[in-house]
Amino acid sequence: MELRNYAHLLSNRCRRRSFLLGAGFLTGLAVTSQGLPALAKSRFSDYPFSLGVASGDPLPDGIVLWTRLAPAPLFGGGMPLRNVVVRWQIALDENMRKVVQRGKTLATPELAHSVHVDVRGLEPECWYWYQFKVGNEVSPIGRTRTASAFHSYIKQLNFAFVSCQDWQNGYYTAYRHLIDEDLDLVVHLGDYIYEYGPQSGGPRQHNSPEIVTLTDYRNRHALYKTDVNLQAAHAAFPWIVTWDDHEVDNNYANLIPEDDQSQQAFVARRANAYQAYYEHMPLRQSSLPNGANTQLYRRFTYGDLAEFSVLDTRQYRTDQPCDDGLKPRCVQAFDVNATMTGAEQEQWLFKGLDKSRSCWNVIAQQTMLAEYDFNASPDAEVFNMDQWDGYVAARNRLLSFLNQRQPSNPVVITGDIHSSWVHDLKLDFSQPTSATVGTEFVGTSITSDFPSPFIAPVQAALSDNPHTKFFDGAFRGYVRCNLTPERWQSDYRAVSSITDFNASISTLASFVVQNGQPGAHRT
């Protein structure tokens, strides 16, 4: 797959560091050339880079480069049970002539022959191009960008956030348009894959029954990665990723599955899902799972302009209250011991926000934080128990912290619900005049469906939720964000169709948050 010409985006500030830290410099799973076995001339049954390339977890001086050797991607990968030498290089130009670092690493069968090269010693706020080689085979060239230097002044930051890409529901047309955007990074908020078996009626189908085993999860990730538009989006920008529920099992909570499964069986299933997720994402070795556990929450800083606190609201949460679903709250929804994040992650979030000196403090997470009463009738309130509405005490702790400690410009970005929303985050949602302590932008899905019969009832309830400034359930797409020291602008980008490869894209709505003034205003 050929990427578009990105030469005009090459920053003149990026100085060539010809092997500053040595030609084999890398960390994590990579090794130097002296210790490699002689397996570099492997032969393959088909093209081994069938899943493309990706980069992620950007730092001011580093980036993770990813690929996976998979000549038979939908059938376990098609690789022998042995280690394979993979060469990599990173350059200042798309023709890979101004190489600044190169090295070798091992693709091992234990990690499905995926590689995660943690390259350090790079220049901050700089575009780079990278490529992998194995034997005589060469990967597509990817493009990536490092984060800005700590505490440096930045005029602007451009990123998009995406979520929820059910393969069976449509084509990834949104990604075809995403690669034309002027972005520094992409944030994926979860539901990268879906675990379900084949469903009739859609434009394409899953390739196996509901996934449970490690091989199942590997093959499902590989299926999604074969999409050319998704590959192009990964190759065009660095990604910051986190998961939601469908990477494992719909609406799971910690070690509690949605369906009847023994805990022992679900622990094994979660371990399989977590490993396959790591194998297919540009993550650092610090996110390598230990059985059914991994630390995915982490933080990224872009100079003095923005800091991203990336949350995991599935692995540590308590069970959904009131038997889950859309219903009036029961007493369990107010349980002070209920948690979305677990106590350790919650304190990590609070401490990070308290110490942050960034202009914009971005909380990247999964389910809707703002309250929303889905019942337009005054008879009974109806809430989604899988969202923060089912974890009232945990949400109140966060909103109270934002009100008391007042970190600069907190903005929450959210996925999960397959629709577009904008909320003012209120200290007390029952009081419209209560203090606004932050802003929430909820992005629609790439393909996953929002039930069309549900759109009208949500719209009818808007007047009873005055903190909600915008809702749309009809369109799929992504949210494009432009940050400056003065203001944040979110553009809700929507494709005209998810069943048409040539569908157009337009901006549904744009909202602005002014520095120092929580709450969004439509432009």
Measured between alpha carbons, how far is 332 from 383 in angstroms, rounded to an integer?
13
Strands of 220-283, DSSP E: 239-241
401 phi and psi angles, rounded to 5 deg: -60, -45
Bridge partners, 118 (sequence order): 27, 64
Q: Are 505 and 174 in contact (CB under 8 A)?
A: yes
Which pLDDT score is estimated for 378? 76
Q: Which residues contact 283 (CB under 8 A, 6 or more apart)?
A: 56, 57, 64, 66, 116, 241, 296
Give pLDDT tens digits for 342-393.
999 999 999 999 999 999 999 999 999 999 999 988 778 999 999 999 999 9
Does 25 score more than 60 pLDDT?
no
pLDDT level of residue 334 (50, 70, 90 thresholds): very high
Give pLDDT tens digits for 269-280.
999 999 999 999
> Can you give the pTM of this predicted structure?
0.94
Which pLDDT score is estimated for 15? 44
Which pLDDT score is estimated for 41? 63
pLDDT level of residue 221 (50, 70, 90 thresholds): very high
Measured between alpha carbons, how far is 445 from 209 in angstroms, rounded to an integer?
23
Percent of the chain whose pLDDT exceeds 70: 92
Q: Are 370 and 518 in contact (CB under 8 A)?
A: no
Q: Are 155 and 122 in contact (CB under 8 A)?
A: no
Which pLDDT score is estimated for 386? 99
Q: At 499, list the tokens.
A: 């069943």
Does 38 score more than 80 pLDDT?
no
- Per-position DSSP letters for 174-188, written without gaps between them: HHHHHTTS--SEEEE
Q: At 439, list the tokens.
A: 């802003």
CATH architecture of the domain with range 7-145: Sandwich (2.60)
The CB density around residue 452, as the number of other CB atoms within 10 Å, is 9
- Taking residues 220-234, what's their average pLDDT? 99
Q: For residue 324, is it left (φ>0), alpha (ψ between -120 and 50) or beta?
A: left
Q: At 144, list the tokens.
A: 């990536």
- Taking residues 299-325, what's their average pLDDT? 98
Which pLDDT score is estimated for 84? 98
What are the CA-CA distances from residue 399 to residues 204, 374, 395, 499 (Å)? Answer: 42, 21, 6, 40
Give pLDDT tens digits for 132-150.
999 999 999 999 999 999 9
pLDDT level of residue 40 (50, 70, 90 thresholds): low
Q: What's the gap between Cα 74 and its chain centre?
A: 23
Which pLDDT score is estimated for 319? 98
Strands of 9-92, DSSP E: 27-28, 30-31, 53-56, 63-68, 84-91
pLDDT level of residue 14 (50, 70, 90 thresholds): low
What are the CA-CA distances from residue 410 to residues 78, 413, 437 (Å)? Answer: 46, 10, 8
Which pLDDT score is estimated for 42? 72
Q: Are 390 and 381 in contact (CB under 8 A)?
A: no
Q: Are 349 and 309 in contact (CB under 8 A)?
A: yes
Among 3.40.50.360, 3.60.21.70, 3.90.1150.10, 3.20.20.20, name the CATH number for the domain at 157-191+296-522: 3.60.21.70
Pairing assessment for the beta strands 383-384 and 476-483 based on DSSP bridges: unpaired
Mean pLDDT of the chain: 93
Exposure on the CB side of residue 50, measured as CA atoms within 13 A: 23
Q: At 381, list the tokens.
A: 């309130």
Q: Which residues contact 309 (CB under 8 A, 6 or more apart)?
A: 297, 299, 349, 352, 353, 361, 362, 363, 364
Which residue type sits at 261? Q
Q: Where are the domains positioned within the chain?
A: 7-145, 157-191+296-522
Helices and strands, number each (H, E), in the chain:
7, 26
Q: Are 105 and 86 in contact (CB under 8 A)?
A: yes
Does 510 score more than 80 pLDDT?
yes
